[in-house]
Amino acid sequence: MSRYQLTKTVVMIGMMGAGKTAVGTALAELIDVPFIDSDAQIVQAANQTIPEIFDAFGEAFFRDKESLVLKRLLDGPPSVLSTGGGAYLQKTNREMIAAQGLAVWLKVDRDLLWARVRHKDTRPLLRVADPKARLFELLGERAPYYRQAGLVVDADPNYSVQDMADKVLKQLLNHPMNILRKIA
């Protein structure tokens, strides 16, 4: 197995259903660094699920906690960090990520996103009368931000999680920021 050296945190960004957690986990395993999920960290700290946090305190509260968690994690050792779909919209978060990591947008076509999220009830932003329309609308609003990522990796409906992780790995190795090197 190859060995790698990672000098900055790889931050997975993109829509709900893009595969940030699944692909991030597989990538972290390939390069042998910790995988961290910012949503999971918020849930753990609050001892509540994300819908519960949204219900009890509102989205703005969640966004504040998300920024705090991101900051703490970016200050830690290099890792693969998966963020919630809204994290990259805040300018301060984008700046923190650019300073201490590399944002990787998993760019997934809207129909594939919908196919992946439609059966789940864990996303408060999609608990609306027409979740499909909301998802497409969110993608439209967010794409201009996601596009600012240091690396954009296109998904494909035929890719497995492992295929996508391999593709991210290859693109990281060729990226001008040089945060990932093969050492053996």
Cα 91 to Cα 131: distance, rounded to the nearest angstrom: 26
What 8-state DSSP symbol labels residue 82? E
Considering only residues 6, 10, 11, 16, which one is a binding residue for ligand S3P as defined by CB under 6 A? Answer: 16
From the CB of 82, what's the least distance to ligand S3P, in Å? Answer: 7
Cα 24 to Cα 98: distance, rounded to the nearest angstrom: 18
Q: Is residue 149 involved in binding ligand S3P (CB under 6 A)? A: no
**Element containing residue 101 per DSSP (H, E):** strand 101-107
CB nearer ligand S3P, residue 6 or residue 13: 13
Considering only residues 6, 28, 31, 50, which one is a binding residue for ligand S3P as defined by CB under 6 A? Answer: 50
Cα 102 to Cα 172: distance, rounded to the nearest angstrom: 9
From the CB of 9, what's the least distance to ligand S3P, in Å? Answer: 17
User: Is-contact 34 153, C-beta < 8 A?
Assistant: no
Cα 159 to Cα 133: distance, rounded to the nearest angstrom: 25
- Of the candidate spans 2-10, 100-108, 123-131, 143-151, the one that interacts with ligand S3P by CB under 6 A turns out to be 123-131
Q: Is residue 131 involved in binding ligand S3P (CB under 6 A)? A: no
CB nearer ligand S3P, residue 14 or residue 101: 14
- Residue spans of alpha helices (H) in 85-130: 91-100, 110-117
Q: Is residue 39 involved in binding ligand S3P (CB under 6 A)? A: yes
Q: Which residues contact ligand S3P (rule: CB under 6 A)?
A: 16, 20, 39, 50, 84-86, 123-125
